[in-house]
């Protein structure tokens, strides 16, 4: 097969792969070098790396700048002070009236929790004195939100950081987190004679031991790739320095003519899309007659510190496309990208389109952003100060550790992922049963120094891809060059890729776009198999040339449909195909793509 692109493609198996040049013409400078800025000194970097161990990777300078911006502007806003004092007096009066009525009965609450706040749902919180305790906490929480927002002159980013930090501190002192102020814990302690606290102490000790030893959480050992998860039959047909390519065995007598290539995120292991047999997207596609290929990313080590975004493109998406084309020749390919893998797929699709490479038949993006100006609360950890600090930590290690990445995601949902779990496990002494999604979530990967720095600076901080400044092989990449039909899925409660951010692809893609908004979050909304209770989704198609519709107007005009979005997507893929044919062979030994070993391969087991 002729190579349709100039980047050197990874050879299969053990053939050495030539290195990409480190500084392509017009490319963004590396994290430690620039034409007109001095590189940081080793002493500075060592100091920042040492401090990072104490601050969990958070830049003290970034937090201080945000606090000073807020404090200085608040200090010179007497009108805001007066309004806050008025609110404090009014809330105090409301609380006093409520507490008085609560002594005599069960009055209507004076403030309701936010819709996503389930901490006070139990009926025990409606009895004295716990009703007054939790109502006072909610009033205080609301006042602090007013105090940290709406101050003229504060930058939006600093306002978000201060408001987020205040919320984290309040969540720490929530009455739910203490034995004396949590009626559910008090009831359990009285009923069990304190045995719940003894079990909780044992759970805490076990978690500490596991974390210190680098082991997975309790119960995760029951979910082993190749046995209980990632168990769809297949073979590894390509292995290079960065990826294994899995080809899944056919499950039907004939298959769709166009193969499917899935590009998962490399922040976690690939098998989020091949969990248990009942909720495996891969198994569902194979059962519908698709020939599916899946990229499994290698877990990088310190030796991979200089792998960059171009390497992930070359060794990942482009190498996989070449392999699929060799195994299923003369067929275009249906491509799928999830999260960060979707962003990389969009880069690849745009770059191939610029070179008139027509191998891609369709592009499906699952919770994947191409514009990063409204990238949710993850942007709280992305500014020049924070990235400079983070780069120094990664420079010392050669990568971003799994716990550093997981810690950032846990902070975004601290109520659900930190405090509610702590109360359940350590105060109530009840282990929440491990499930496949939780076990996968604990199976994190590292991020190479260069790649993660380039990704955060070029995409998150500068938004180079959406604004046309991103370059591959020295050539600009334009999303408007993508002409293939697109199926774009966003989730309603996504804290990583907010749905309105994902929706922005409608602003640049010069193609037919079917946009789907499904219930659930970043992971659970995608793993939404048919039969999953309580699921719904909205779907509408925008043809090339149609006028743009704002996301709020789109949601208002698109009624929800009950059920999973998977069947709608499978029907869309079939409609974009050219019919059914006999299944292709497994691999192509004549092209150096002989099946190497059974799925899930080796890379998924790397720690």
Whether residue 361 is predicted with pLDDT greater than 60 in this model: the reply is: yes
- Residue 309 CA to chain centroid, in angstroms? 18
In a domain, residue 259? The reply is: no
Q: Is it the case that residue 27 has pLDDT exceeding 50? A: no
How many domains, the chain?
1
Among residues 85, 110, 339, 486, which one is catalytic?
A: 339
Chain position carrying tokens 């680098």 = 214
Within 10 Å of residue 34's Cβ, how many Cβ atoms? 11
For 458-498, the pLDDT digits (tens) are 999 999 999 999 999 888 999 999 999 999 999 999 988 99
Q: According to the model, what pLDDT value does residue 30 have? A: 44
Q: Does residue 56 register a pLDDT over 80?
A: no
Predicted confidence at residue 180, as pLDDT, reads 96
Q: What is the mean pLDDT of residues 524-530?
A: 95
Burial 291-328 (b: 16+ CB within 10 A, else e): bbbbbbbbbbeeebbebbbbbbbbbbbbbbbbbbbbbb
Which residue has 């029907």 as its token pair? 571
Other CB atoms within 10 Å distance of the CB of residue 214? 9
Closest by Cα among 452, 285, 449 to 366: 285
pLDDT over threshold 80, residue 453: yes
Q: How far is CA 383 from the centre of its chain?
A: 19
Domain annotation covers residue 90: yes
The whole-number pLDDT of residue 35 equals: 47
Kindly state whether residue 125 falls inside one of the protein's structural domains. yes
The answer, yes or no, to whether residue 90 has pLDDT greater than 90, is yes
pLDDT value at 37 more than 90: no
Higher pLDDT, 304 or 400: 304
Rounded CA gap, 285 and 574, in Å? 11
- Containing structural domain, residue 129: 60-192
Query: 17 and 315 in contact (C-beta within 8 Å)?
Result: yes
The CA distance from 501 to 459, in Å, is 13
**Phi and psi torsions of 242, nearest 5°:** -120, -30
pLDDT band at 544 (very low <50, low <70, confident <90, very high): confident
Give the model's pLDDT for residue 235: 98
Tallying the residues shown for the chain, one arrives at 607
pLDDT at 329 > cutoff 90: yes
pLDDT at residue 10 is higher than 80: no
- Among 580, 384, 600, 376, CA closest to 495: 376
Task: Please state, for a pLDDT cut of 90, what percent of the chain lies above it.
Answer: 73
605 vs 220: CA distance, rounded Å: 13
Residue 2 has what pLDDT? 39
With respect to residue 130, please indicate whether it lies within any of the assigned structural domains.
Answer: yes
Residues 389 and 52 sit within 8 Å (Cβ to Cβ): yes
Contacts of 479 (CB under 8 A, 6+ apart): 346, 350, 370, 465, 466, 505, 508, 509
Percent of the chain whose pLDDT exceeds 70:
91
Q: What is the pLDDT of residues 375-404, one digit of tens each?
A: 877 778 788 888 887 888 888 788 887 666
According to the model, what pLDDT value does residue 309 have?
A: 95
To the nearest 10 degrees (0 to 180), the angle between helices 60-75 and 156-172 is 100
Element (H, E) at 163: helix 156-172
Higher pLDDT, residue 16 or 327:
327
Q: What is the pLDDT of residue 58?
A: 79
Average pLDDT over residues 63-72: 95
For tokens 């350590």, name the residue.
426
Give ∠ CA 153-154-160 in degrees, rounded to 5.
Answer: 150
Q: What are the distances in angstroms from CA 11 to CA 265, 292, 347?
A: 22, 21, 22
Q: Summarize pLDDT for 545-561 with one digit per residue, the tens.
A: 889 999 999 999 999 99
Minimum mean pLDDT among 108-122, 129-143, 228-242, 564-578: which range? 108-122
Q: Please report how many Cα atoms fall inside a 13 Å half-sphere around the Cα of residue 270, on the Cβ side.
A: 32
Q: Which of 55-59, 431-435, 511-515 has the lowest mean pLDDT?
A: 55-59
pLDDT at 306 > cutoff 80:
yes
Q: Is 30 part of any domain?
A: no
Q: Give catalytic status of residue 339 as yes or no.
A: yes
Choose between 364 and 375: higher pLDDT: 364
Instruction: Give the 3-state secondary structure percentages of the chain, helix then strand then coil, rounded to 5.
Output: 45, 15, 40
pLDDT tens digits along 243-275: 999 999 999 999 999 999 999 999 889 999 999
At 607, is the pLDDT very low, low, confident or very high (cuts 50, 70, 90)?
A: confident
Residue 108 included in any domain? yes
Q: Please give the pLDDT value at position 115.
A: 83
Local structure of 162: helix, strand or coil: helix
Return the residue matching tokens 């992930």.
312
**What's the mean per-residue pLDDT of the chain?**
89
Q: Is residue 151 part of a domain?
A: yes
| Chain centroid to CA 522 | 6
State the pTM of this model. 0.88
- Which segments within 521-567 are labelled E, that is strand? 536-542, 561-562
Residue pLDDT, tens place only, 334-348: 999 999 999 999 999
Answer with the residue of higher pLDDT: 408 or 126.
126
**For helices 183-192 and 195-213, angle between their N-to-C axes, nearest 10 degrees:** 110
* Cα-trace Rg, the chain: 26
Which residues, listed in sequence order, are joined to residue 542 by a DSSP beta bridge?
A: 513
Structure tokens that stand for 520 in this block? 């659930």
Residue 6 lies in a domain: no
Q: Average pLDDT for residues 220-234, to the nearest whole number?
A: 95
């Amino acid at each position: 097969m002729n190579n349709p692109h100039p980047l050197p493609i990874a050879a299969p198996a053990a053939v050495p792969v030539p290195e990409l040049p480190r500084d392509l013409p017009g490319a963004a400078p590396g994290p430690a070098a620039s034409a007109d800025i001095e590189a940081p000194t080793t002493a500075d970097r060592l100091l920042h790396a040492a401090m990072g161990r104490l601050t969990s990777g958070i830049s003290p300078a970034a937090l201080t700048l945000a606090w000073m911006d807020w404090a200085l502007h608040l200090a010179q806003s007497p009108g805001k002070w007066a309004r806050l004092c008025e609110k404090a007096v009014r809330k105090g009066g409301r609380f006093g009236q409520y507490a008085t009525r609560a002594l005599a009965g069960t009055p209507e609450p004076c403030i309701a929790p936010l819709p996503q706040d389930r901490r006070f749902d139990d009926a025990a919180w409606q009895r004295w004195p716990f009703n007054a305790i939790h109502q006072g906490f909610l009033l205080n929480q609301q006042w602090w939100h007013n105090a940290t927002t709406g101050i003229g002159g504060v930058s939006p980013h600093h306002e978000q950081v201060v408001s987020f930090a205040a919320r984290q501190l309040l969540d720490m002192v929530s009455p739910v987190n203490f034995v004396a102020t949590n009626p559910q814990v008090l009831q359990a302690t009285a009923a069990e004679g304190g045995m719940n606290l003894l079990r909780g102490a044992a759970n805490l000790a076990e978690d500490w031991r596991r974390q210190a030893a680098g082991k997975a959480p309790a119960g995760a050992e029951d979910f082993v790739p190749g046995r209980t998860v990632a168990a769809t039959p297949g073979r590894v047909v390509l292995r290079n320095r960065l990826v294994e390519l899995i080809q899944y065995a056919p499950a039907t007598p004939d298959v769709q003519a166009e193969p499917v290539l899935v590009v998962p995120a490399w922040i976690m292991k690939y098998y989020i899309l091949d969990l248990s047999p009942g909720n495996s997207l891969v198994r569902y596609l194979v059962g519908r007659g698709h020939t599916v290929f899946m990229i499994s990313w290698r877990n990088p080590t310190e030796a991979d510190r200089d792998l960059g975004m171009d390497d992930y493109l070359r060794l990942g998406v482009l190498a996989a496309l070449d392999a699929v084309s060799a195994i299923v020749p003369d067929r275009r390919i249906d491509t799928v990208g999830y999260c960060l893998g979707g962003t990389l797929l969009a880069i690849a699709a745009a770059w191939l389109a610029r070179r008139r490479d027509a191998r891609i038949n369709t592009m499906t993006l699952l919770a994947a952003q191409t514009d990063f100006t409204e990238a949710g609360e993850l942007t709280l950890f992305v500014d020049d100060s924070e990235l400079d600090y983070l780069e120094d930590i990664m420079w010392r290690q050669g990568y971003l550790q799994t716990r550093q990445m997981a810690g950032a995601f846990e902070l975004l949902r601290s109520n659900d992922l930190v405090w509610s779990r702590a109360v359940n496990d350590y105060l109530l002494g009840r282990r929440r049963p491990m499930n496949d999604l939780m076990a996968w979530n604990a199976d994190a990967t590292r991020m190479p120094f260069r790649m993660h720095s380039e990704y955060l600076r070029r995409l998150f901080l500068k938004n180079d891809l959406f604004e046309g400044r991103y370059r591959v092989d020295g050539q600009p990449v334009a999303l408007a060059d993508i002409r293939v039909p697109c199926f774009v899925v966003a989730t309603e409660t996504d804290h990583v890729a907010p749905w309105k951010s994902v929706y922005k692809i409608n602003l640049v893609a010069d193609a037919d776009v079917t946009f789907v908004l499904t219930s659930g979050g970043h992971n659970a909304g995608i793993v939404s198999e048919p039969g999953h209770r309580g699921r719904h989704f909205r779907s509408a198609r925008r043809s090339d040339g149609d006028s743009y519709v704002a996301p709020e107007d789109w949601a208002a005009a698109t009624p929800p449909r009950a059920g999973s979005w998977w069947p709608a997507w499978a029907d869309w893929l079939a409609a974009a195909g050219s019919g059914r044919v006999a299944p292709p062979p497994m691999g192509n030994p004549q092209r150096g793509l002989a099946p190497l070993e059974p799925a899930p391969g080796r890379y998924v087991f790397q720690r």
